[in-house]
Structure 1
Amino acid sequence: MSGLSQMPANGSSLHDPARKRPLFWETAFSGSDPDALSEIWSTPNSPIKAAAQADAPIAYRCNFVSTEELAIADCAYDGTISIRREAPNGKLIIFLPLEGNAVFDAGKEQFHSVPGCGTILGAGRASGARLFGRRRHLGLFVDQARINRQLGHMFERTIGGDTDFHPTIDLTTGSGLVLEQLAVNLYRGLSGDGPLQQSPLALNALCDAMIYLLLETCPHRYSEALAAPASAPAPRHVKWAIDFMREHMAEPISLSDIATAAKVSVRTLQQGFRQFRNTTPIAYLHELRMLAAHRDLRESGTRQAVADIALRWGFTHLGRFSAEYRKRFGQLPSQALKR
C-alpha cells in the first residue's frame, strides 16, 4: 500500500462550531518525549505509559481523525519504544502496518505486526506493544458498542461484551486487502479537505461497510451463528410488544401492560422473547431505556444533569445506574455528558 498524504498542521480542527454534535475532528502531534507520547495515547479511563529503550532517542508523528464512534490514526515512529496500557479502553483496535516491525501484547499472547499482516485487538485484550526502529501504521479504533449495535441488527437482539475477533488478518488478499483499502480511503476522505467532511451519510456508510466486512469475513465469537440459517421471523406478538415498549419506555409500564398490548399471556410473551430475542421482555425494555439514556447523555452536553437523564428513563438509583452504564459503555455517565 502506498504512503498517505502529508499530515496537516498540529492541532487542526475539522468540526463546525455551529454544530451541536461535531461529526469529526483532526489533530496532529509530533515530538521526541516519551511522556508526551503517553499523554497523546491515554484517555481518562485507559492510561498508557510509553518509554524509550535505555533512554535512547525516539521520534514520533501521529495524526488522528476521529468521529464519534470511530477514529483512524496515521502514526510513524523512530527508535525502540515500549507501550503499556494500564486499563481496557472499550474499543476494538486494528493495526494496519505500512512499514517496520512491532509486537503487540494481548493478555499472555504476543502478535508480530509487519506489512501484510494486520492485528485485531479486542476491547479488553490490548495490553501493550513494542515498536522497533522505523515503524508506520494505520490504527483503527472502533467503539465496541457500535459493533455490538450492528451485530444486534443482524441478529435482531441485544448483543453485549467483546466480539473476540481472531487477532491476525492477512492484508495481502481477500477481505484484509479490502479492509486496508477502506481504511486508507476513510483517512484520505476525512483528513485535510477530504470529501467525506461534506458527506456524513457517505462517512457513516463507509464506517458501516468496514464493520460489516469484519463481522462477515473475520473469525470471531459470533461467526458460527452468523453462518447458520436465519431463524424464523419473530411472531407478531413479539413485534407488538417491542413497539409498545418503544412508545412507552419513559413510562412505568409493567410486564402485564406489555403482555396486554401484545394480546398474549405473560407466559407466552416470555417464551416469545426467549426464543426470538434471547432475553426477557423486562431485560429488553431495560436495554432500550439504557440506550435512550446513553443517547441523551451524548446529545445534551452539560445542559442537563446525569440524575435528570437517569430519572427520565426510569433509573431511580443513580449509583447503580452509573455502575451499569460504565460496564455497558466503558465510561461513567458524567464522562459521556462532558464529551
Structure 2
Amino acid sequence: MSGRSHMPANGSSLHDPARQSPSFWETAFSGTDPDALSEILSTPNSPIKAAAQAAAPIAYRCNFISTEELAIADCAYDGTISIRREAPNGKLIIFLPMEGNAVFDAGKEPIHSVPGRGAIIGAGRASGSRLIGPRRHLGLFVDQAKINRQLTHMFERTISGDADFHPTIDLTTGSGLVLQQLVANLYYGLSGDGPLQQSPLARSALCDAMIYLLLETCPHRYSEALALPAPAPAPRHVKWAIEFMQEYIAEPISLNDIATAAKVSVRTLQQGFRQFRDTTPMAYLHELRMLAAHRDLLESGTRQAVADIALRWGFTHLGRFSAEYRKRFGQLPSQALKR
C-alpha cells in the first residue's frame, strides 16, 4: 500500500489526541512540513530533526498507539526525508517495514531496512536515518527499563544497561515473521474500535509475548546466558538477606547486619551472592536503592528536590549519585524529575 494514497494535501492533524483511556492513548498526525514532523517525532529528552532532501516536497502520516508497557506507530512517508535523533531516548526501537527503503546510521555499519528485513535500534544510541518514499513501516518502542526488568526476572539478578541487540531481523520466516504478526495484531486490535481495547489481560499478554520473543530468539548481549540451563534456586540465606535489604532499604545497614539477618557468616553470604546473583551483597543493596530513587524521581514530579530523594535512599554525594544515575538510566536525575 502506498503511503501517498493516505496523505492529506495540507499539514492538518487527523486527531490529536484521537482517543485516550487510562491504559492506552492514540494520536495521529499528517502533513507536509518537515519542522512539524520534527516536533511530532521528538520527545523532551530526545529531540529529532527532520528535513526534506534538496527541499523537495514530502508528506507523512503517523499514527501512534501507546500502552502502559510499550508504543506502536504506523507511519507512511512520501519523498526522501533525513531524520537525525540528537540524543538517545532510552527506548529499544524496532522498525518493521511494509513498503519502501530506509537506511539507519546507528552503529559501525549502515542498517538497511526494506520489506522482509527489520531494523533494531538500541536504546543507548543516537541515530540518523534516511527514509526513501513511498515508505511505510510499523515501529515498536519498548523502554529499555522494561527489557531489563524482564531480564532481571529471567536471571533472578539485576540487569542494567543496553542489551545490544543485533541490528537486523529477518521478517520473512521464524521468530521475525511471528514478531511482525504480533505487533500488527496489537496495533490493529487497539486502533479504531479494536477488540483489545476491552481486554486488558489479552493486551498485556501480547506485550509480554513480544518482549519474551525478542529476548529468547533475537541475538543480544545476554543470549548465550539465556541459552544455559537455569541455575539452581538461591539458598535460603540469600533470600533472607534480600528480604532484610528490602525491609530496611532506607536504613544505614552494614554487611555484618545483612549476614546476621541471613544467619550466616559474611564470607558465606558473599559466596552465595556471587554464585546465585552474580554480584556482591552491598552492590545488590546499592542497586535496590538506586531503583527506589529512580521510582521516586519519576513519581514525584517537581514536588521534591533531587537532593532530598538522593539522601532518602542513602546517597550522600549528589555529584556521584547523578553520575551513577545517568550511567544506569541514560539521563540525569533532574531530567527524570521533570518527566
1:126-164, CA deviations, whole angstroms, 9 ceiling, x for partnerless residues?
Answer: 511111120000111111111111111111111122111
Structure 1 stretch 177-186 or stretch 287-296: which is displaced more? 287-296
Conserved? CA contact 1:105–1:128, under 8 Å: yes
Conserved? CA contact 1:107–1:126, under 8 Å: no
Deviation of 1:278 after TM superposition, in Å, equals: 0.9
| 1:319 counterpart residue number | 319
| 2:193 counterpart residue number | 193
Letter in 2 for 1:101: N
1:250-282, CA deviations, whole angstroms, 9 ceiling, x for partnerless residues?
Answer: 222111110000011111111111111111111
Deviation of 1:31 after TM superposition, in Å, equals: 1.2
Conserved? CA contact 2:2–2:135, under 8 Å: no
| 1:49 counterpart residue number | 49
| 1:9 counterpart residue number | 14
How do 1:254-333 and structure 2 match up within 5 A? Answer: 254-333=254-333
Deviation of 1:239 after TM superposition, in Å, equals: 0.9
Separation in 2 of the partners of 1:169 and 1:245?
A: 41
Structure 1 stretch 62-71 or stretch 145-154: which is displaced more? 62-71
Q: Does the residue aligned with 1:93 lie in a helix, a strand or coil?
A: strand
Deviation of 1:303 after TM superposition, in Å, equals: 4.0
| 2:35 counterpart residue number | 35
| 2:92 counterpart residue number | 92
| 1:124 counterpart residue number | 124
Q: Does the residue aligned with 2:161 lie in a helix, a strand or coil?
A: coil
Conserved? CA contact 1:104–1:126, under 8 Å: no
| 2:150 counterpart residue number | 150
Q: Does the residue aligned with 1:162 lie in a helix, a strand or coil?
A: coil
- How many residue pairs get aligned? The number is 332
1:169-190, CA deviations, whole angstroms, 9 ceiling, x for partnerless residues?
Answer: 1112111111111111221233
1:10-45, CA deviations, whole angstroms, 9 ceiling, x for partnerless residues?
Answer: 2125444xxxxx533222121111122122222232
Question: Residues 239 and 116 of structure 1: is their aligned pair in 2 closer, same or farther, counting only changes over 3 Å?
Answer: same
Deviation of 1:232 after TM superposition, in Å, equals: 1.9
| 1:135 counterpart residue number | 135
Deviation of 1:294 after TM superposition, in Å, equals: 2.0
Q: Does the residue aligned with 1:229 lie in a helix, a strand or coil?
A: coil
Report the TM-score when normalising by structure 2.
0.90
Deviation of 1:80 after TM superposition, in Å, equals: 0.6
Separation in 1 of the partners of 2:54 and 2:178?
A: 39
Separation in 2 of the partners of 1:251 and 1:197?
A: 43
1:170-218, CA deviations, whole angstroms, 9 ceiling, x for partnerless residues?
Answer: 1121111111111112212333333434444433322111110011111
Structure 1 stretch 139-148 or stretch 318-327: which is displaced more? 318-327
Q: Does the residue aligned with 1:99 lie in a helix, a strand or coil?
A: strand
The answer to whether structure 1 residue 241 and structure 2 residue 246 are counterparts is: no
Question: Residues 191 and 313 of structure 1: is their aligned pair in 2 closer, same or farther, counting only changes over 3 Å?
Answer: farther
Conserved? CA contact 2:93–2:122, under 8 Å: yes
Q: Does the residue aligned with 1:98 lie in a helix, a strand or coil?
A: strand
Conserved? CA contact 2:86–2:126, under 8 Å: no
Question: Residues 329 and 52 of structure 1: is their aligned pair in 2 closer, same or farther, counting only changes over 3 Å?
Answer: same
Superposed CA RMSD? 2.3
* Identity value in percent: 87
Q: Does the residue aligned with 1:11 lie in a helix, a strand or coil?
A: strand
1:40-94, CA deviations, whole angstroms, 9 ceiling, x for partnerless residues?
Answer: 2222322222111110000011111123442111100000111122222221110
Separation in 2 of the partners of 1:178 and 1:93?
A: 17
Conserved? CA contact 2:124–2:330, under 8 Å: no
Separation in 2 of the partners of 1:253 and 1:67?
A: 39
Conserved? CA contact 2:120–2:166, under 8 Å: yes
Separation in 1 of the partners of 2:337 and 2:291?
A: 14
| 1:19 counterpart residue number | none
Separation in 2 of the partners of 1:30 and 1:332?
A: 33
Letter in 1 for 2:184: V
| 2:74 counterpart residue number | 74
Separation in 1 of the partners of 2:69 and 2:228?
A: 29
Question: Residues 221 and 266 of structure 1: is their aligned pair in 2 closer, same or farther, counting only changes over 3 Å?
Answer: same
Separation in 2 of the partners of 1:15 and 1:61?
A: 19
Question: Structure 2: which 5+ residue stretches go unaligned?
Answer: 8-12
Separation in 2 of the partners of 1:338 and 1:105?
A: 30
Question: Residues 2 and 284 of structure 1: is their aligned pair in 2 closer, same or farther, counting only changes over 3 Å?
Answer: farther
| 1:231 counterpart residue number | 231
Separation in 1 of the partners of 2:30 and 2:49?
A: 17
Letter in 1 for 2:63: N
Letter in 2 for 1:29: F
Separation in 2 of the partners of 1:186 and 1:2?
A: 22
Separation in 1 of the partners of 2:68 and 2:336?
A: 11
Deviation of 1:242 after TM superposition, in Å, equals: 0.6
1:299-321, CA deviations, whole angstroms, 9 ceiling, x for partnerless residues?
Answer: 33444443333332222333332
Question: Residues 36 and 110 of structure 1: is their aligned pair in 2 closer, same or farther, counting only changes over 3 Å?
Answer: same
